[in-house]
């Protein structure tokens, strides 16, 4: 049984890279929401019974043959709708308006920072924007609406988009040509909050306290008298999941921490202290370094590494379950972005950027069901839930650490020796970040050991050792990220310490790639 919040917003995904930012803004307004691919909306609509709908942007063009469409039932449901960029265009097109392709006539599109002028009042602007005011927004569209649908009126314009914001107050349908969800639209979050609160009439009372209570009840209902094993990785997600589940079912839960030899420095000891000493949660620690290293020998492909590690984790859990006399459920710290990124917005085959160890399901032979209490949360919401559960800020604020561990921070073959070198370099780097008071300003920072050797000079001797790359990014939820702008003195200090203190490294570089086009992790 899933306990559905009374007030929800359904976000229809047409494939935009920033759809998840829309969800973040809605949840920041205190309202629960979910994202559904446009091809899978019917099921989500029936399950959620939403009070409002948001149509996302898309890389497609409405005039293109085969471009995605919104199910007609959405427009007939009698609910408020906000169409964003492509969402505005597809709504206009399906309700009788006209959308012009970007390659027609002299129109070349409108991208980046732009300014709109408010021409008429509407509920979307209540208490926020007034007629005659100019406001900065972020545009990213090649196509444009050239004729709005019956019942709509123009309430804001820009130099490149005479239909910058349109409104049908009678049906409570609104469309913005710009993207209010991105940070480059300064008032965008307030605009979305206006839609949620003023247009949809939702209170905004969805909190981590209510989520906690809801999930505790769900877990008890799902598990009953069964036994659960939880795979701990040492990271925030699995730890918060374990503590929440323990609150719900007590000693029916046993945590299994697999030391696969791919952990950060002293991580095993930290996890044992937290779960055994502070929370008194039953914990089994499995020393599996040798079997993981043996299985990774000669493996260089990133996907092959991930798949082996995921499969071996499952094998370990299966073995430990048998030792414990059998378990009915396996708990994981799966997050909402893990789920979304693993589902094609078309509902069909999609390009996989990277597989995720938490969304592959379980082998039928295990005869176990999954318990995933964080499945609806973003990373920062998990941290908030952790604080709600009493976890200290130092642990809750830890940087994300991938399930495959150091294996995906060592491009090429993974060996115990290379892991030991990387562990030490990573520890030095993070120590310097903490010493500088920068840890909490950074979303994720780590070292990478490259499969490259370079010539160096130490004292009077020639060296031929490995290159270490340093990575640090800022982000809100990990979906997009910018590099952290360390000053030269800091990077020089890190490089000097790593080269002097970590045998096997004689060169240090800094990764200046944002996401996109790169990913945060190297593999």
Catalytic sites, residue numbers: 85, 179, 181
Instruction: Give Cα separations from 283 to 1, 205, 510 (angstroms).
Output: 28, 36, 38
Integer Cα distance of 507 and 235 in angstroms? 29
Alpha carbons 389 and 410: distance in angstroms, whole number? 34
Q: Residue 305 corresponds to which tokens in the numbers above?
A: 């590494």
Q: Is 97 annotated as a binding residue?
A: no
233 annotated to a ligand binding site: yes
Q: How far apart are CA 145 and CA 174, in angstroms?
A: 13
For helices 208-223 and 379-388, angle between their N-to-C axes, nearest 10 degrees: 90
The answer to whether the beta carbons of residues 114 and 138 sit under 8 Å apart is yes
**Has 126 been labeled as part of a binding site?**
no
* 142 annotated among ligand-binding-site residues: no
* 385 CA to centre of own chain: 16
User: Residue 468 belongs to what H/E stretch?
Assistant: strand 461-474
Q: Rounded to the nearest 5°, which phi and psi values hold at 121?
A: -75, 150
Phi, psi at residue 92, to the nearest 5°? -60, -45
- 31 burial via Cβ count (<10 Å: 0-12, 13-18, 19+): buried
Q: Is 440 annotated as a binding residue?
A: no
**DSSP code for 242:** H
234 is in an annotated binding site: yes
d(C-alpha 395, C-alpha 234), whole Å: 10
Distance CA 354, CA 342 (A): 9
7: closest CA among 143, 241, 205, 146? 205
- 347 marked among binding-site residues: no
Q: Which residues are annotated as a binding site for ATP?
A: 233-239
Q: Which residues are annotated as a binding site?
A: 233-239
């Amino acid at each position: 049984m899933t306990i559905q919040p009374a007030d929800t917003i359904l976000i229809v995904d047409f494939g935009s890279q920033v759809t998840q930012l829309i969800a973040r803004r809605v949840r920041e307004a205190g309202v629960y929401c979910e994202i559904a691919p446009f091809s899978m909306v019917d099921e989500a609509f029936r399950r959620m019974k939403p009070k409002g709908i948001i149509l996302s942007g898309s890389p497609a063009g409405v005039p293109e043959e085969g471009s995605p469409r919104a199910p007609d039932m959405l427009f007939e449901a009698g609910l408020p709708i906000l169409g964003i960029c492509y969402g505005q265009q597809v709504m206009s097109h399906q309700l009788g308006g006209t959308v012009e392709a970007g390659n027609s006539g002299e129109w070349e599109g409108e991208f980046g920072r732009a300014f709109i002028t408010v021409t008429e009042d509407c509920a979307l602007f209540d208490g926020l924007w007034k007629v005659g005011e100019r406001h900065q927004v972020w545009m990213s569209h090649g196509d444009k609406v050239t004729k709005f649908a019956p019942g709509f009126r123009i309430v804001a314009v820009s130099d490149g988009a005479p239909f910058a914001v349109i409104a049908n107050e009678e049906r409570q349908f609104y469309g913005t040509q710009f993207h209010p969800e991105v940070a480059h639209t300064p008032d965008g979050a307030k605009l979305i909050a206006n839609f949620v609160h003023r247009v949809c009439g939702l209170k905004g009372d969805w909190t981590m306290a209510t989520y906690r209570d809801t999930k505790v009840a769900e877990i008890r209902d799902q598990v009953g008298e069964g036994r659960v094993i939880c795979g701990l990785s040492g990271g925030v997600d699995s730890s918060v999941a374990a503590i929440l589940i323990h609150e719900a079912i007590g000693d029916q839960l046993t945590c299994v921490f697999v030391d696969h030899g791919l952990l950060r420095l002293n991580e095993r000891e930290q996890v044992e202290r937290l779960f055994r000493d502070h929370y008194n949660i039953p914990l089994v620690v499995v020393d599996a370094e040798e079997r993981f290293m043996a299985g990774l020998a000669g493996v260089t492909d990133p996907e092959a590494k991930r798949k082996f590690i995921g499969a071996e984790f499952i094998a370990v859990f299966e073995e430990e379950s048998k030792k414990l006399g059998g378990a009915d459920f396996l708990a994981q710290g799966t997050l909402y972005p893990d789920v979304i990124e693993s589902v094609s917005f078309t509902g069909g085959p999609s390009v996989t950027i990277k597989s995720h160890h938490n969304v592959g399901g379980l082998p039928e032979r295990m005869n176990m069901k999954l318990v995933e209490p964080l499945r609806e949360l973003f990373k920062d919401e998990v941290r908030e839930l952790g604080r709600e559960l009493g976890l200290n800020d130092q642990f809750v604020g830890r940087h994300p650490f991938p399930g495959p561990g150091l294996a995906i921070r060592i491009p090429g073959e993974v060996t115990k020796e290379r892991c030991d070198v990387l562990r030490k370099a990573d520890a030095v780097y993070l120590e310097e970040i903490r010493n500088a008071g920068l840890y909490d300003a950074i979303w994720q920072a780590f070292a990478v050991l490259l499969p490259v050797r370079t010539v160096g000079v130490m004292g009077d001797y020639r060296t031929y050792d490995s290159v270490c790359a340093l990575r640090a990014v800022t982000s809100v939820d990990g979906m997009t990220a910018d590099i952290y702008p360390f000053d030269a003195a800091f990077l020089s200090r890190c490089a000097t310490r790593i080269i002097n203190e970590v045998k096997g490294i004689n060169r240090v570089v800094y990764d200046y790639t944002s996401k996109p086009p790169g990913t945060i992790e190297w593999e």
